Structure 1
Amino acid sequence: MSEEDVIPPAARLVRDFVNTFEPQVDEESLTAPDRLRDWFAQRRLLRPDARLRAADLAVAVTVREGLRAVLLGHAGHPADPTALERLDRALAGVPVRMTFTDCGHRLVAARDTALDQALAALLDAVRQCGAEQSWTRLKVCARDTCRWAYYDASRNQARRWCSMAGCGNYVKMRRAYAARTRRKGKSAAGTPAH
């Protein structure tokens, strides 16, 4: 079983939404309203013919970066309070309601706009993550230039990097180099002159 196989679908949806922007290489997937629509449509959160506007894209990006800030907090780092405030304001404009079926309950959009439908489905995924106890396993990489979202499937939930082979090794090598440099500086300062 691969690492990807253990990620609950709701957690995968949230992770993938956050990863529509890759900070390390400054690569934005959601460059236009149609790209946002296509992303949601591929995940069956919107109809392929739905219409989104530039303002909808701006709200979605605000939600995404707010979620990235939350996941940074899950990784043990202080979350950007401005990003969290923007997230709260953006979500205040997306009214949702609870609906019940014989199979359970979920959040749905209270209005019939395309953006509200898509974001309500995303919020329902967050709700599902909480119910499944997978919410705090969603984190972003501790490497400050990366911030890629990942699912921490480790037993003790202590994973800090999106990839140990990539970011983990980079951070550990930098720390080791800094420690060696400090030790050299201290030993050179403490060496008596002859």
Structure 2
Amino acid sequence: MNDRSPAPGGLALIQDLVNTLDIGAGTDELDTGAGRARFGLAPADVAAARELRESLRAVCLAHAGHAPHQEVRPLGELLAAAPLLVRVDASDGAASLAPADPGPLASRVAAAVAEAVAAGTWARLKGCEAETCHWAYYDRSPGGRGRWCDMGVCGARAKMRAYRARRAADGSRT
């Protein structure tokens, strides 16, 4: 859908998961074997993965200043059961958080969130404001004020709608 580059580090996992649902097209990659395999999911794991995905989408939308697109279970509740371990590199003493069990998707997401918070990049993973999109994108703009996943698609459509609304308003005053 968009032309932006992938999010850095573990945020790419979150971005990929959120973007498994194409709202505009009505397709869900988690409905396919290949889509589930990308995340190491069995068919029985899909409902929990969808719940996690929509909670992540709500957070991405919040990062961009938008209300959630639907009622969701809070992300903190979903990640509370995903224990993390502190790993320390013996050679340089660098520390990082890693999932205690790298199998479950929620554990990998929790580690990615912790990494992004520590790196100061968590709030830059945003949700497109277009109601028919809500695609996750990493906002690389200098001021962190990106609003759309793709300026050439969602941004152009929004600007055209605003232009037409202004023209209609100007025409109604004359």
TM-score normalised per structure 1: 0.76
Which structure carries more relative contact order (alpha carbon 8 Å, separation 6+)?
2
Alignment-mate amino acid for residue 106 of structure 1: L
> Which of these residues, 114, 121, 125, is aligned with residue 127 of structure 1?
114
User: What is the aligned-residue RMSD (CA, Å)?
Assistant: 2.4
CA distance in 1, matches of 2:145, 2:120: 15
Cα deviation, 1:109-129, whole Å, max 9, x if unaligned, reads 3xx5943xx321121011111
Aligned residue in 2 for 1:151: 138
Alignment-mate amino acid for residue 38 of structure 1: A
Overall identity of the aligned pairs, in %:
34
The structure richer in helix per residue is: 1
CA distance in 2, matches of 1:9, 1:37: 21
CA distance in 1, matches of 2:36, 2:170: 54
* Structure 2: 5+ residue stretches without partners: none
Deviation at 1:88, TM superposition (A): 4.2
> Which of these residues, 47, 54, 57, is aligned with residue 68 of structure 1?
57
Aligned residue in 2 for 1:108: 99
Structure 2 contact 87–95 (Cα < 8 Å) conserved: yes
SS in 2 for 1:150: strand
CA distance in 2, matches of 1:84, 1:72: 15
Aligned residue in 2 for 1:4: 5
TM-score normalised per structure 2: 0.84
Distance 1:145 1:37, change over 3 A: closer
Structure 1 contact 141–160 (Cα < 8 Å) conserved: yes
Deviation at 1:182, TM superposition (A): 1.3
Query: For the pair shown, which has the larger CA radius of gyration, 1 or 2?
Result: 1
Runs of 4 or more, structure 1, over 6 Å off, are: none
Report how many residues are paired.
168
> Which of these residues, 142, 166, 173, is aligned with residue 160 of structure 2?
173
Cα deviation, 1:74-132, whole Å, max 9, x if unaligned, reads 111123573143x444334x3313232224121323xx5943xx321121011111111
Determine if the alignment matches structure 1 residue 162 to structure 2 residue 153.
no
Alignment-mate amino acid for residue 146 of structure 2: R
* Structure 1: 5+ residue stretches without partners: 42-50, 188-194
